[in-house]
Structure 1
Amino acid sequence: MNRLLAPAAALLTLTACNALTGPREIIGSETQQWRVAATGGDRTRLRDWRTAFIEALAKARAGGHGREIAAEGALLDPDAGIVGVPIPNGDYRCRVIKLGAKQSGLLDYVAYPAFTCRIQPDKGLQGFAKLSGSQRPVGMIFPGDSMRQVFLGTLVLGDEKRAMQYGRDPDRDLSAFVEKIGPNRWRMVFPRPAFESTLDVIELIPAS
């Protein structure tokens, strides 16, 4: 996690981490098709997303977090997605939940307080960025199907001001399905991220 970032030509500046600036540059290809832009590893992770979801829930329940999972309702139900994409552009309250520790010594369930995320148009797609916190996904949302869109991007860590280009480092690459799960409520489902957890879920609720 502390490795040096790639050369400057492969990086995207995030202005003071409070503005979304050209996330299209993170994805080297100009394609509108997520399968063309995605790495082989991310295509595999997305294909097996439901298996990862079930495995992560089982680990969290075995760790004594069944009550917390039940309290989240649709957010942590693998089959809760409904027709209703694309997600609108705008600012969101985004809350991260990590499920299923990848190794001993880590927690099987961690829920973080809400941060601010932003979605905005970017060259025919939608740019996404989590604007604060120690782990900040930044990238693009692509069309998917009637149920889901697809996010591809990279992870910005700590006080870094630049995002690594997608595909340069598998440990930084991120992929997720974006689903509507209720009125004015969406989620991003990240199967098997490189660090900490078996599954990450980001809840997205419009800020206003």
Structure 2
Amino acid sequence: MRALLVAAALLPIGGCSTIAPRPSVIAPDLRDWRQVATSDDRERLRDWRTAWTRALRAANAAGHGPAIAAEGALLQPDSALPNPAIPNGSYRCRTIKLGARSPGLLEYVAYQPFSCRVRQEHDLQGFAKLSGSQRQVGLLFPNDQLRQIFLGTLVLGDESRAMRYGADAERDIAGHLERIGPNRWRLVMPYPRFESVVDVLEIVPAR
């Protein structure tokens, strides 16, 4: 059932560029993310601080302290500001991976910006990273005065469609959307399935 609830907003992706219009069928009473999230994702969201502390410790120990400090509020766990709402529109998104999930992987990786988009999906908003080899696609749910909840799936490589949320735990993504400055947001994803301990996606309006 959970897979069907979010699947309506995990829209087809044409290559790595656009998401085609398609109506959502999510009912108003399903705006509560707790009714949609898998048990694994509720646990990941609950343990976000443990993940972030572990990831920062590992990245700093590996000599990336100056790079982390230079990012300012982006990589500070408690820098979320009130009113996390994000307007619909086009954005630039930059991913930073903190902490290595397994030996041999890098403890800190910062990527160049890619294209992202936020748009209305009935009573919710849909978020999609439109380019890059790992693309998050899903829904933003209301939560509290500091955070919205993101539930979605990961599109890889040249795949043209997002999988249904809940259909494959290896592709499911859960995160917090937070505002960290004027026209600046971040999507914090604890314990992603690939590579890192925490992924932080910086989101700023496209120029």
1:75-119 alpha-carbon deviations (Å, 9 max, x no partner): 000000010221111111100000000111110000000001000
Structure 1 residues 76 and 187 mapped into 2: Cα distance closer, same or farther (>3 Å)? Answer: same
Q: Is the 8 A contact 2:149 2:175 kept in 1?
A: yes
Counterpart of 1:48 in structure 2 is 47
Verify the 8 A CA contact 1:23 1:140 in the aligned structure 2.
Answer: no
Q: For structure 1, which runs of at least 5 residues remain unmatched after alignment?
A: 1-8
Aligned ranges 1:1-208 → 2 under 5 Å = 12-21=11-20, 31-208=30-207
Letter in 2 for 1:203: E
Identity across the alignment (%):
58
Counterpart CA distance in 2 for 1:145 and 1:18 is 32
Residue 55 of structure 1 aligns to a residue whose secondary structure is helix
Q: Give secondary structure in 1 for the equivalent of 2:19.
A: coil
Question: 1:129 and 1:196 mapped to 2: Cα distance?
Answer: 20
Q: Between Structure 1 and Structure 2, how many residues are aligned?
A: 200
The separation in 2 between residues aligned to 1:40 and 1:23, in whole angstroms, is: 28
State the Cα distance separating 1:15 from its structure 2 match: 2.3
Query: Aligned AA for 2:142?
Result: P
| Structure 2 SS opposite 1:17 | coil
Cα deviation code 1:133-190 (max 9, x no counterpart)? 0000000011110110010000000000011000000000001100000111100000
Please list every run of at least 4 consecutive aligned residues from structure 1 whose deviation after the TM superposition is greater than 6 angstroms.
23-30
Shift of residue 25 of structure 1? 6.2
CA root-mean-square deviation: 2.2
1: CA distance between counterparts of 2:37 and 2:25?
Answer: 12
- Deviation of 1:30 (Å): 7.2
Aligned partners of 2:24 and 2:122 also within 8 Å: no
**Secondary structure at 1:163 match in 2:** coil
- TM-score (normalizing by structure 1): 0.90
**In structure 2, the residue corresponding to 1:144 is in which secondary structure?**
coil
Counterpart CA distance in 2 for 1:37 and 1:80 is: 27
